[in-house]
Amino acid sequence: MTREPLNTVVRHLQRLASAGAERSDQQLVQAFAADRDEASFTELVRRHGQLVWGVCVHVLRNRHDAEDAFQAAFLVLARKAAAIRQGDSVASWLFGVARRTALKARTGLARRRNHESRAVCRAPRRRP
pLDDT number for residue 61: 96
Residue 64 lies in a domain: yes
What is the CATH number for 48? 1.10.1740.10
Please give the C-alpha separations between residue 61 and each of 18, 24, 31, 43, 103, in angstroms, as whole numbers. 35, 32, 34, 27, 11
Whether 40 is in a domain gets the answer yes
Distances (CA, A) of 107 to 52, 70, 71, 128: 18, 16, 17, 39
- CA neighbours within 13 Å on the CB side: how many for 115? 6
pLDDT per residue of the chain (128 residues) written in tens, 0 to 9? 456 776 777 676 666 666 556 899 999 999 999 999 999 999 999 999 999 999 999 999 999 999 999 999 999 999 999 999 876 799 999 999 999 999 999 999 988 888 888 776 665 667 76
Range of the domain at 103: 20-121
Residue 4 located in a structural domain: no
Please give the single-letter amino acid code of residue 128. Answer: P
Q: Which residues contact 45 (CB under 8 A, 6 or more apart)?
A: 74
Is residue 5 domain-resident? no
Q: What pTM does this model have?
A: 0.74
DSSP assignment of 12-62, as one string?
Answer: HHHHHHHHHHHS-HHHHHHHHHHH--HHHHHHHHHHHHHHHHHHHHHHH--
91, part of any domain: yes
Domains held by the chain: number = 1
The answer to the question of residue 8 being in a domain is no
